[in-house]
Structure formats: structure tokens, C-alpha cells
Structure 1
Amino acid sequence: MKIPLYLRIILPVTVAACGYAMWTDAIPEEPMAVPSKSVKSKRGPVVEKNQLLSQMTALAPRNLFPYQGPPIILPSVTARSAVSRPTLTPAPEPLRAPPLPFHVSGVWSDGVHRKIILTKGDKQNETIILCQGCDKSVTPNIGDVIDQHYRLEKIEKERITFTYLPLKLEQTVNLDKVFTGTGN
């Protein structure tokens, strides 16, 4: 394997530079003396702490990449601002109606009439039939109260809208989900 000429020149120069840096590196032979603790007057330890602090800051590493963005100005905290600052309270959760007690079991259409079958309860013990274009005396009309808490608002092609009366919140049942098999 042949090494290019520029690498053959750079390698010895780099080795020579590292050797020179190690040879001229000035490492003190004796470790730095740490002041010993002794009992002195109250004025004495303050002077020793200041000297120790100046020695430690001289030996501390420097930040080579200091923050160079815009200055960060923090608000000053005073006794007046700390007292008058209001506490933040979390926003209350929005009111939600309970889930509808009935679900769409099926939809039947013969071109003129459209019947939507709602079943109530887990065991499907009660059935409500909503009919568009049928005799309105048999089925619930728009505006009628179903199950004491829900008022039928509108029947559209793809959804039925109810209002939960205690909270006056609208809820919808999508009929598209009946056809796709994904449930209410």
C-alpha cells in the first residue's frame, strides 16, 4: 500500500509538533499548597476564603463557547411583586355529556322512507325507530324527548343530532360508521 506524499510529509510534522508541545509543557513539580484550617479570629477565615477563591477561579476551566445571543433579562423579584402576583389556576375541563345510551343497530331504506333503528341498553332490550317520510304519530319527531334526557334535534343523511338536556350539549351519532362497521 502506497501512502500519498502529502500524508508522508504531514505525519512527521505532526509527531514533531506534539513532541515539542509535551517537552515545553510547564508542569509545576510541587502541588499547590492548600491553606490549612486553623482557629483564628473572625476576620482571619474571610481573608483565607478570598485567597482560596481567587486561586480556584484561576484554575477553573474557561467556557470556550459562551452564550452570544441577546441578553437575557430576568424580572426582578421584590416583596411587592411577589405578593401581588396572581396564582395561575388550571382551566376547568369542558363540560361533557355522558355517552349516548343507545346506538344505531341498522338503517333501512326503500327509496321513499328511511328507517334508522336505535337500540338502548347492553342487552338491546328497547328499540327506537326513527323514520324519515313515515307516519309521524308512531315514531319520535324532531324536538321529541327520548329517554328523559335526550332531545332529537335533526336527522341528516350521515348523522343524527341529539341534545343532552341537563347540560344543553349537542351529541351526534354518525351513520357512516354503521355502514363501515366501526360502531358508533
Structure 2
Amino acid sequence: MRPPMLIALTLALALTAWVALQGDDSTVEPVRQGANAERRGGGSAPAKRPAKVDEDQAQRLVASVAQWQSRQPLPPLTPDTAMPWGSQRPPPPPPPEVVSVAPPPPMVPPFPHAWVGRFNDPAQRAIVSGTDSTWVVAVGDVIDGQWRIDQIQERQMKLTYLPLQQHQTVAMKAP
């Protein structure tokens, strides 16, 4: 520690010890009104007594108490009324109406394979390529257990998605 801080700390400690070791003879005693009046005036001044309350004042006091007891109670405190000096928030918006909308009917997914070619023969066969396999199909064949070949034309192939019995047209992939 710095020497001035050490000196100040030692001085404060010494003064604290000196005050603590002083006797209690300097304490102040409480003063009572009767004893105080006797000391000042030598005991000759009479002590003051409360004034009598007349009957008219007593009746007015009883009527005021009865009126106070019959008052309207205050409304309960809410977060807005507890701090009237704070900013007032607008009431919350009403909840949105719930409109029940029927889900749309299931739709046919896009054909997951590519039609890459066809044969020029009376059987109207086409070549369909998938991610794992390639098929040579004719009208009436089923691919993946879900797609039935209905018609093979020059640049289009008509299919039926069997789970929903919905039709779809697929164009031949351009080379």
C-alpha cells in the first residue's frame, strides 16, 4: 500500500478505537413532557389537557365515518391502472377467425422417369430411363407398380397414375 493510504487507515482505526472506549456518561436521556415542563418553569406551569369535543363535532365525526364506510370500492388494479403515469397500451387485436378449408384433393406426382425414345414398330414400344433401371415398355405395361402406359404417340406418352386413377401426359425428352 502507499504510505499516505496506510497513514489514513491507521488514523481511522485509532479514532474508531478511541470512540469505542469512551464512557456512556454522555448519552442523552429521553425527555418527557411533564418532566420538561417542570424543569423549564420550575414546576408551576400546569400540563395542557386536550380540549373537550362538543356533541355536534362528535355527531359530524360519526356521520363522516359512516359515509366513508359506505363508499364504492375502487376497481381492482390491472397492469394498466397500477401505473397510470406509464404509457397506455392499446387493447390486443381480436383473435383471427379460424376458417375451415377442405384440403385440396391429392394430385398426381410428376412422372419420376425420363422417356428417352421409341421404336418405329407396330407394337408402339418406348424406352423409359429411371435412376436405377431402363425399361422397354408397350401399351398396357406398368412401371414401378404405379404408372400404366395407356398410349404411345410420336412425341407424347399418356400414363395413368394407378393409386389415384389420374391421367398424365409426358413428352419425349429432346436429344
Classify the TM-score, shorter chain.
0.3 to 0.5
Higher-Rg member (1/2):
2
